[in-house]
Amino acid sequence: MKKRAVIFALAGIVLLSLAFLAGHYFWPETAAEYRGTVVVKEEIPLSDSLFIQGLEMNDKELICATGRYGSSMIGILNEGKFNAKKNLPSDEFGEGITVAKDELFQLTWREGLCYVRDPQTFEVIRTHRYEGEGWGICYDGTNLIQSDGTAKLKYRAPGTFEVISEHTVVDRDGNPVVKLNELEFANGHIYANIWQTKDIVKIDPKTFKIVKVYTTDFPADISHENSNATLNGIAHIKGNRFYLTGKLWNAYYKVELKD
Name the residue whose CB lies closest to Ca ion.
184
Choose between 111 and 184: whose C-beta lies nearer to Ca ion: 184
In angstroms, give the least distance from the CB of 79 to Ca ion: 19
Give the chain's length. Answer: 259
Residues 30-89 that bind Ca ion (CB under 5 A): 55
Q: Which stretch binds Ca ion (CB under 5 A): 4-12, 157-165, 176-184, 242-250?
A: 176-184
Choose between 27 and 201: whose C-beta lies nearer to Ca ion: 201
In angstroms, give the least distance from the CB of 56 to Ca ion: 5
Q: Which stretch binds Ca ion (CB under 5 A): 158-166, 168-176, 178-186, 249-257?
A: 178-186
Choose between 171 and 184: whose C-beta lies nearer to Ca ion: 184
In angstroms, give the least distance from the CB of 139 to Ca ion: 10
In angstroms, the CA 208 to CA 89 distance is: 35
In angstroms, the CA 158 to CA 141 distance is: 10
* Residue 171 touching Ca ion (CB under 5 A): no
CB neighbour class for 206 (10 Å; exposed up to 12, middle 13-18, buried from 19): exposed
Q: What is the dihedral of CA 216, 38, 104, 227, to 10 degrees?
A: 0
Is the distance from CB of 154 to CB of 169 less than 8 angstroms? no
Choose between 1 and 214: whose C-beta lies nearer to Ca ion: 214
By CB under 5 A, name the one of 134, 184, 242, 247 that touches Ca ion.
184
Query: CA-based angle 136:148:139, to the nearest 5?
Result: 35
Site size toward Ca ion (CB under 5 A) is 2
In angstroms, the CA 239 to CA 29 distance is: 26
Choose between 225 and 230: whose C-beta lies nearer to Ca ion: 230
Q: Rounded to a whole number, what is the distance in angstroms from the first to the last CA of the chain?
A: 52
Q: Which stretch binds Ca ion (CB under 5 A): 14-22, 104-112, 140-148, 183-191?
A: 183-191
Choose between 59 and 225: whose C-beta lies nearer to Ca ion: 59
Alpha helices in 2-160 (DSSP H): 3-22, 27-30
* Residue 95 touching Ca ion (CB under 5 A): no
Is the distance from CB of 173 to CB of 182 less than 8 angstroms? no
Q: Where on the chain is the footprint of Ca ion (CB under 5 A)?
A: 55, 184
